[in-house]
Amino acid sequence: MIVTLEHKNKTLKVDLSKPIDISIPLTNTDENPIAWYIEKPEIEPVVFGEWIGSVKKGASTNFNTIFFNPHGHGTHTECLGHITKEFYSINKALKQFFFLAELVTVDPELLGEDRIISKSQIEKALNGKIPEAIIIRSLPNEILKKSKKYSNTNPPYLSEEAACYICENGIQHLLIDLPSVDKEKDEGKLLAHKAFWNVKDTQNLNSDARMEATITEMIYVTDAIQDGSYLLNLQIVSFENDASPSKPILYKI
């Protein structure tokens, strides 16, 4: 279904019958990606005495309980409440769901034992464009990202200067195919998170912090999807929590 949309004073033509899903499914198998030193998700039928919530085991319905962590178990979207003393909810922060997005591919630079995505790389990749959302695909783009166990692997991350650049250009939504925009073990500095949300003090939030900006981590963008401009539909669960599992969908313009 091809539709014509008016968005931010631009006329867009998109085919809604051809969504491009860049989320990673959540499963209770060893194929599920994991970060932050936790175990895989649990999806199990409820048990009441001899009754088991599984049609295979004689129940009329499947009735599962799911135990997972949005930050460590797959694609998720978070608000600045992830790093603040005061509670802020992603369900309150994300009020619109369609954005003009730019997909860029970056090969992180070697810095000592780390691999970082630098300001100059982001600036070059955007080439003067200032979208509402930036989607960063890192190299190498192995399919292993969909099932990788990231704990204690020191994955690549975004430099503080790169996050500042994204913030200063008014880009509201940052999506990346890594478990965090920050270094895995950084002594709690969280420099890229703070820079992107313009948070100067996590204990007493500054008035110019970016309340509606979001970070989405652990996406996966296949090589078949070309760099360029897309319409992004950023879907979350209505959790009153700092983060929610999410399903970012792209549409070619």
**Angle between the N-to-C axes of helices 119-126 and 160-168, in degrees from 0 to 180, rounded to the nearest 10:** 40
Q: What is the mean pLDDT of residues 8-31?
A: 93
CB 236 within 8 A of CB 79: no
Whole-angstrom Cα distance, residue 123 to residue 118?
Answer: 9
pLDDT: is 1 or 206 the higher one?
Answer: 206
CB 213 within 8 A of CB 196: yes
Structure confidence at residue 10 (pLDDT): 82
Residue 207 to residue 201: CA distance in whole angstroms: 11
Average pLDDT score over residue span 191-203: 97
Residues 171-187 have a mean pLDDT of: 98
Is the separation of the CB atoms in 170 and 131 below 8 Å? Answer: no
Q: What is the mean pLDDT of residues 97-107?
A: 97
Q: What are the Cα distances from residue 160, in Å, to 12, 73, 86, 87, 120?
A: 33, 25, 23, 24, 12
- 2-27+70-252, which class in CATH? alpha beta
Mean pLDDT along residues 202-207: 94
Q: Any idea of the CA torsion for 234, 240, 243, 247, to the nearest 10 degrees? A: -30
For the stretch 211-239, pLDDT in tens is 999 999 999 999 999 999 999 999 999 99
Percent of the chain, pLDDT > 90?
95
- Choice among 2-6, 121-125, 231-235 with the minimum mean pLDDT: 2-6
Instruction: Give the residue among 163, 146, 195, 178 at the shortest CA–CA distance from 36.
Output: 178
Q: Is the pLDDT of residue 8 over 80?
A: no
User: How high is the pLDDT of residue 147?
Assistant: 98
pTM for this entry: 0.96
**What is residue 23's predicted lDDT score, i.e. its pLDDT?**
98
141-174 pLDDT tens trace: 999 999 999 999 999 999 999 999 999 999 999 9
Average pLDDT, the chain: 97
Between residues 1 and 130, which one has the greater pLDDT?
130
Give me the DSSP letters along 184-227: SSSTT--HHHHHHHT-S-SSS--TTS-TT-EEEES----TTSPS
